[in-house]
């Protein structure tokens, strides 16, 4: 384990300053997301979602961002999953986009709320058939006896719905995270990184710099 002490590299990215930061954090995020996609980062829309229920024990997992607009950032999941149960108890969540290839990360804090059934329906029918069947087959976060158990349910569903489209299960749908804070981190030399935080003040977004 002592070899971990020697794991280090120098960051040499260009600066991220108050002068070149956009006033709108959503547009700034979209620009950085586009940079991540254009740079060839696989799963550039992958984000770490952290939640904590009433027991205040945080849990983190990777989910995929499926939409971002001025209302918030959306992802989809099973409403019976651990993450959904924690959101029901405590809607305050955190998102993290780690774009290491660009020496960047974006951290977002906000509250999560369910999207409309219509929005969940629209996304569900756009998914590949296998993914739709998977949403029905998996009792997400629950203990199951074996992999075979899951595969048998999958085969039963394939046979059952072979002649008709698969509807969205009512226990599956989307959440929208409504941000209250964005933090944009850009790696710089000598660990003097750029950290700009967007925060809400009387309904407006303000920018302040954080020490690295």
Q: 158-194 pLDDT, tens per residue? A: 877 765 678 899 999 999 999 999 999 999 888 889 9
Q: What percent of the chain has pLDDT over 90?
A: 72
- Residues forming beta bridges with residue 207, ordered by sequence position: 198
Structural contact between residues 78 and 87, judged by C-beta atoms closer than 8 angstroms: no
- In the set 142, 176, 188, 191, the catalytic residue is 191
Q: What percent of the chain has pLDDT over 70?
A: 97
Structural contact between residues 166 and 129, judged by C-beta atoms closer than 8 angstroms: yes
Q: What average pLDDT does this structure show over 22-42?
A: 97
Q: What is the CATH number of domain 11-120+169-209?
A: 2.30.110.10
Q: How confident is the model at residue 156, as a pLDDT?
A: 82
User: Model's pTM, two decimal places?
Assistant: 0.90
pLDDT tens column, 124-157 = 999 988 888 888 888 888 888 999 988 888 888 8
Instruction: Measure the CA–CA gap between 120 and 77, rounded to whole angstroms.
Output: 10
Instruction: Measure the CA–CA gap between 86 and 14, rounded to whole angstroms.
Output: 39
Q: What average pLDDT does this structure show over 59-74?
A: 97
Q: Catalytic: 188?
A: no
């Amino acid at each position: 384990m002592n070899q971990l002490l020697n794991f280090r590299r120098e960051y040499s990215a260009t600066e991220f300053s108050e002068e070149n930061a956009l006033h709108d954090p959503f547009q700034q995020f979209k620009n950085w997301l586009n940079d991540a996609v254009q740079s060839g980062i696989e799963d550039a829309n992958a984000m770490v979602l952290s939640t904590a229920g009433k027991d205040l024990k945080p849990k983190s997992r990777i989910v995929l961002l499926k939409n971002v607009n001025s209302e918030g950032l959306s992802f989809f999941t099973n409403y019976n999953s651990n993450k959904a149960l924690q959101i029901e108890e405590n809607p305050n969540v955190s998102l993290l986009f780690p774009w290491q290839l660009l020496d960047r990360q974006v951290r977002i804090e906000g509250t999560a709320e369910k999207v409309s059934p219509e929005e969940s329906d629209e996304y569900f029918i756009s998914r590949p058939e296998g993914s739709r069947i998977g949403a029905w087959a998996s009792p997400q976060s629950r203990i199951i006896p074996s992999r075979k158990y899951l595969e048998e349910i999958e085969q039963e569903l394939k046979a059952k719905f072979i002649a008709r489209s698969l509807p969205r299960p009512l226990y599956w749908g989307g959440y929208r995270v409504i941000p209250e804070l964005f933090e944009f981190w850009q790696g710089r030399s000598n660990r003097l990184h750029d950290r700009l935080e967007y925060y809400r003040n009387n309904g407006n977004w303000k920018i302040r710099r954080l020490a690295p």
